[in-house]
Structure 1
Amino acid sequence: MHTIEPHYGWLKYYNVAEDENSPYDGKSYNFDLYSDTIYGYYIDPHWDFMGSETLYIKVLYADCDRGYMVIEFIGEWNDALNNDIMHLKRNIIDHFIPLGINKYILIGENVLNFHGSDDSYYEEWFEDVEDGWICGINFRNFVVDEMKVFNVDNYINFGGDLDIESWRTLKPQSLFEKINLIISRRIDLL
């Protein structure tokens, strides 16, 4: 797991450690020492702790003017034991919602497993975004299937055109525009 790095191609556009609006503002990363682990496996120092022992994140991009952010994940999403959604909601999402962020792109290709619980934090998050949306891209099929068992798909859009394998080749704004168009079409079909 130590070889899995968060996407660093967008650092020229946004650095969470240099964003004064970010909970990680001023954070320094020690690339000589791997100290964070998930189930005893060291992870790359670029990943950020959000309160969960099993799920780490990287805020790849946040645009308060356009109201969207992109978050990449690594680890096991475990709501049953660690209440990971509570940590994500309280420590990250609740920080950015007052700044005008109401559209969330969650990149889940490095989420290796999901253990669900109730959906109350997902519902709260969904209600907080009002005219916005939450989508998950590139989550593994078995992870999405497990999330559906716990009704997470009532609040987070998954699958279909949202699985964009080439997202790393896009600029943040291009990824957002592509996903926003897909979500808009889905809403129009309702």
Structure 2
Amino acid sequence: MHQIEPYYSWKKYYSPETDINSPFYGKEYNYDLYSETIYGYYIDPSWDYMGSETLYIKILFVDYAKHFIIIEFIGEWNDALHNDIMHFKRNIVDHFNPLGIKKYILIGENVLNFHGSDDCYYEEWFEDIDEEMDNGSIGWIAAVNFRDFVLEEWGNYNIDTYINAGGSLQINNWRTLNPQHFFGLVNGLISRRISLT
């Protein structure tokens, strides 16, 4: 686990520790000290703690003008024991929603397991962003590259009602794009899905 780093090539475009609106503004990273663990396994110091013992994040990019954020995850998403969605909703989503962020891209390649509970926080999150913005678009949540068994579990707990995932959102080449192009691709895919419903 300690060898899995968050994607770092977009740091030239955005760093959460230098964004005054970020919950991690001013954070100093010690890349020589591995102190955070998930189930006793050290993780790279670049990952950020958001309240969960088992799920860490990295905000890769935020565009306040276009109302979107890209967040990468590592660990086990455990709503049953640790209520991870509550921590994520209260500490990250509720922080960015008042700043106009209504489009969320979640990257889940390193989410290694999922344990569900109820869907209340997902529903609340969806209701927070399901409104028309000044540009006429509506908010959405897109999950990119989550593992099939995680998506199956989401289906078992009705989470796929609120989060767009699977199919065309398995974008293996996302790292070859800059964040604006990646958002454009995902936004187009979600727009097509919405128009078909």
Normalised to the residue count of structure 2, the TM-score between the two structures is 0.96
Q: Distance in 2 between the 1:143 and 1:45 partners?
A: 25
Task: Give a deviation string over 1:16-54, Cα, whole Å, max 9, x none.
Answer: 000000000000000110000000000000000000000
Q: Letter of the aligned partner of 1:189 in structure 2?
A: L
Q: Distance in 1 between the 2:154 and 2:35 partners?
A: 30
User: Quick check: 1:135 aligned with 2:142?
Assistant: yes
Q: Distance in 2 between the 1:187 and 1:36 partners?
A: 39
Runs of 4+ in 1 over 4 A off after TM superposition: none
Q: Distance in 1 between the 2:177 and 2:164 partners?
A: 20
Q: Letter of the aligned partner of 1:146 in structure 2?
A: E
After superposition, residues 41-52 of structure 1 pair within 5 angstroms as 41-52=41-52
Match of 1:158 in 2: 165
Q: Letter of the aligned partner of 1:143 in structure 2?
A: V
Q: Distance in 1 between the 2:194 and 2:5 partners?
A: 34
Q: Distance in 2 between the 1:109 and 1:180 partners?
A: 19
Q: Distance in 1 between the 2:158 and 2:63 partners?
A: 29
Shift of 1:81: 0.4
Q: Distance in 2 between the 1:169 and 1:26 partners?
A: 29
Q: Distance in 1 between the 2:40 and 2:15 partners?
A: 28
Shift of 1:147: 1.0
Give the length in aligned residue pairs. Answer: 190
Q: Distance in 2 between the 1:173 and 1:124 partners?
A: 27
Match of 1:16 in 2: 16
Match of 1:186 in 2: 193
- How large is the Cα RMSD of the aligned pairs? 0.4
Q: Distance in 2 between the 1:111 and 1:173 partners?
A: 24
Q: Distance in 1 between the 2:194 and 2:31 partners?
A: 43
Q: Distance in 1 between the 2:187 and 2:23 partners?
A: 26
